[in-house]
Amino acid sequence: MEASVTKVAVNKLPLVGAMFWATKIVATTLGESASNFVTMAPLNLGYAVGAIIFLMAFALTLAMQLKADRFHPAVFWSVILTTSIVGTSMSDYINRTAGLGYAGGSILLTSLLVIVLIGWRMTGQTMDVERIATTKGEILYWTATLVSNTLGTSSGDFLSGGLGLGFRDSSLLLSGTMLVILAAHYLTPISGTVLFWAAYVLTRPLGAVAENAVEKPVTQGGLGVGTTITSSALLAVLAILVGWQTLTDREYRRTDESIGSDRPAPIRP
């Protein structure tokens, strides 16, 4: 019974490894850039309109993910991307249009994320993302993802703007924190689930400040590359990563179905 549950979970969500984290950072960084492309220059549709458009896109990709019977890299990472895009626009609306500011927005969203995670814990559903095998557990996972990606934009803006660290120093601080979490994974008995969610949340502000460091004008502390070029480059990298995972996942499933084969099963990314 345990083996069958694990298999369902692995087929529905990706295994957590270097490829997972690389793709997560690229997808969430692209989300920041894509949201800016629509809500600010060059389309300038505004945060409220952008949030509505992106919420519909998120609902569509989430419906596809929940309906899927196994892990589809393109579908899964599309949901991650749309949560990041809508999270960016909602965060910008809360912080700037609604007037809460970076600190107020970060506090509000941090509190909301804590409530979601505590509520998840109280349901009795596993928080180990490699073992989520129920629709309820998956909905909780995506709820936490949406809130954490929204928080990521606010916390990134708070570090770089609210505290005045700038994009570069904020990136260095967040990168250093990620390395500490990685070391804790290998050197301490801290729960892997706790470390996963800590890293999962931090990848979003890391992507936000890194994207801003490239996109924003030089006068604002960026490199002045612009949203169009930044978004296009990130989209190309994401397409390569997702394409690679699609190919390796197909090979994994072919090998998994070949019971009795002498061929060793490849390691999934």
What's the pLDDT tens digit per position in 37-62?
A: 999 878 889 999 999 999 999 999 99
Please tell me the distance from the alpha carbon of residue 89 to that of residue 31, in angstroms, as a whole number. Answer: 10
Report if residue 69 sits inside a domain: yes
How many structural domains are present in the chain? Answer: 1
Report if residue 202 sits inside a domain: yes
pLDDT for res 5: 42
Please tell me the distance from the alpha carbon of residue 171 to that of residue 174, in angstroms, as a whole number. Answer: 5
Compute CA distances 51 → 183, 219, 229, whole Å: 37, 28, 22
Q: By three-state DSSP, how is residue 107 classified?
A: helix
pLDDT digits (tens, 9 = 90+) for 76-119: 999 999 999 999 999 999 999 999 999 999 999 999 999 999 99
Please tell me the distance from the alpha carbon of residue 230 to that of residue 220, in angstroms, as a whole number. Answer: 16
Report if residue 220 sits inside a domain: yes
Q: Which residue is it, tokens 């809500």?
A: 39
Report if residue 144 sits inside a domain: yes
pTM metric for this prediction: 0.86
pLDDT for res 269: 44
Report if residue 37 sits inside a domain: yes
Nearest to 241 by CA among 38, 87, 30: 30
Q: Can the peptide bond before residue 42 be classed as cis, meaning omega within 30 degrees of 0? A: yes
Report if residue 263 sits inside a domain: no
Structure tokens at 54: 């992106």
pLDDT for res 249: 80
Structure tokens at 175: 């990168």
Write the DSSP symbol of residue 259. Answer: T
Residues of the chain with pLDDT under 50: 1-10, 259-269
Give backbone dihedrals phi and psi of 150, rounded to 5 degrees, phi first.
-70, -45
Report if residue 114 sits inside a domain: yes
CA atoms within 13 A of residue 132's CA, in its CB half-sphere? 23
Cα angle, residue 163 at apex, residues 157 and 165 outer, rounded to 5°: 80
Report if residue 257 sits inside a domain: no
Q: Identify the helix (H) or strand (E) that includes residue 250.
A: helix 227-257
Please tell me the distance from the alpha carbon of residue 202 to that of residue 192, in angstroms, as a whole number. Answer: 15
Contacts of 76 (CB under 8 A, 6+ apart): 13, 14, 65
Q: Which residue is it, tokens 């895009």?
A: 85
Q: Is the dihedral of CA 173, 205, 15, 7 positive or negative?
A: positive
pLDDT for res 116: 96
pLDDT for res 157: 92
Structure tokens at 236: 């190309």
Give the residue numbers spanning the domain of 86: 2-252
